[in-house]
Structures are given as C-alpha cells and as structure tokens.
Amino acid sequence: MDGNGRWAEKRGLPRAVGHTRGAEVFRKIATACKDLGVEYLTVYAFSTENNRRPEDEVSAILGLLRKYLLESIEKMERDGIRLKFLGNLDILPPDYRKLVRETDEISKRVCGMQANVCFNYGGRDELVRAVKRLGGAEPTEQALSDCLDTAGIPDPDLIIRPGGEKRLSNFLLWQAAYAELIFTDTLWPDFTKEELVAAFEVFSARKRRYGGVDR
C-alpha cells in the first residue's frame, strides 16, 4: 500500500493522514476483491524496515492497526472477509496480540475471502523464522513452505505495487517466484476498484509458462 505519505504531503497534511486514508482504501479494495471473486488478498501494511520511521509515524500506524482490529472483530462475520496477520507479531504490545488472537478465532468461523495483512513483515525475516521452525527436518520446498507465515495459502498469481517504485521491497520473496507483477504510479490512497479491474485484465492477457514452453 505504497504512497500514503506522498499523498498526504502533496496536500500539506501530516503523513499519518495518508495512512488513515490508506486503511480506508484497503477496506474498499478488500470488498471489491470479494465482489470480484478473489479468494486471497494480501496487503503489505508494515515492513520489518518500517520500524526505522519516526516514532510518531509508527505509533500512528499502530493506532490504525488497533482501530482496524476492533472494527474487524465486529464486522468480519457480516462482511464475509476473514482476516489473517502475517509477520513477526512478537513486537506488538500484549493487548494487540490478544486482539490478533481474537481475530484469528473469528476467522475460523467465517466463510469467504481471506484478507492477509502483512505487519512487521519481511520476506527475509519470514525465511529465517521458517528455517528455525524447520529445525533439523529435510529442507524440501514443501517442508519450507509449510513453515512460512503463508503456510496453506496459495502463492500469489498477481502482485500490484502502487506508488511508482518498481521493486518488491522484501514482500513475499519466496511466494512471488512466478507471480505476475504490475506497477502503477497511482498512490495507494487514490487506488480504485476500476484500476483493480484494469489490472486483472492485463493479468488475464499474460502468458504464464512457469519456466516451461507454450504448447
């Protein structure tokens, strides 16, 4: 969800306002995905490197996370969207971790699209944690996949990066092996359902060979 800070700065507003708007757009896009039949949506909300940001910005993002968790606990069943958090959540204060556990419990009862929120997530950090979990077991691709935060979740078909940068920035490094990538200059707070549908159309026209040849 890149570009929140620039969106706010362009309007002379504090960066935190951009994140607030970004969280609203996440809700809109999650609903759009559900309506379009998407089974899994994964957003990058906070990277392991985002901790280097000024304290007031990090605490604004944490505040939004709390608000989002509380709203989701209330609305998840009604909206038919299951919420799952990926990343190293050990850094979160205990009351947040309790809310995440509650969210996980509700998600088990909800049928519908799964929205994954990567929080304090880094692809490299996830791989290191997976290798630790693997212990001495035989390191096959399947065994390692089963130790990732995304265990049981299919690899992404499409990754859309808004905000103009053309890189993955430590997002789903293992899982993105054969993902189609779309980059757009649109800042996340301006991202719309129409742009999402346009990205799906571009994706549909791509030929996916997974290293093989067309037959």
Catalytic amino acids? Answer: 2, 50
Cross-strand bridge partners of residue 115: 41, 83
Q: Kindly state whether residue 4 participates in binding ligand FPP, applying the rule CB under 6 A.
A: yes
Q: Kindly state whether residue 2 participates in binding ligand FPP, applying the rule CB under 6 A.
A: yes
Shortest distance, CB of residue 2 to ligand FPP, whole angstroms? 5
Q: Angle at Cα 64 formed by Cα 169 and Cα 59, nearest 5°? A: 75
Q: To the nearest 10°, report the CA torsion of 116, 41, 171, 138.
A: 70
Per CB under 6 A, which region of 18-26, 34-42, 123-131, 138-146 contacts ligand FPP? 18-26
> For ligand FPP, which residue of 5, 87, 122, 162 counts as binding (CB under 6 A)?
5
> For ligand FPP, which residue of 61, 100, 113, 172 counts as binding (CB under 6 A)?
61
> For ligand FPP, which residue of 16, 29, 64, 99 counts as binding (CB under 6 A)?
64
Residue type, 94: P
Residues 145-164 that bind ligand FPP (CB under 6 A): 163
Helices 55-79 and 15-35: crossing angle in degrees, nearest 10, is: 20
Report the C-alpha gap between 45 and 51 in whole angstroms. Answer: 12
> For ligand FPP, which residue of 16, 38, 99, 117 counts as binding (CB under 6 A)?
117
Q: Which is nearer to ligand FPP, 6 or 129 (CB)?
A: 6
Q: Kindly state whether residue 83 participates in binding ligand FPP, applying the rule CB under 6 A.
A: no
Report the C-alpha gap between 40 and 194 in whole angstroms. Answer: 19
Q: Kindly state whether residue 68 participates in binding ligand FPP, applying the rule CB under 6 A.
A: yes
Among residues 114, 118, 94, the alpha carbon closest in space to that of 106 is found at 114
Cβ distance 69 to 103 under 8 Å? yes
Q: Which residues bind ligand FPP (CB under 6 A)?
A: 1-6, 19, 22-23, 26, 45-46, 50, 61, 64-65, 68, 117, 163
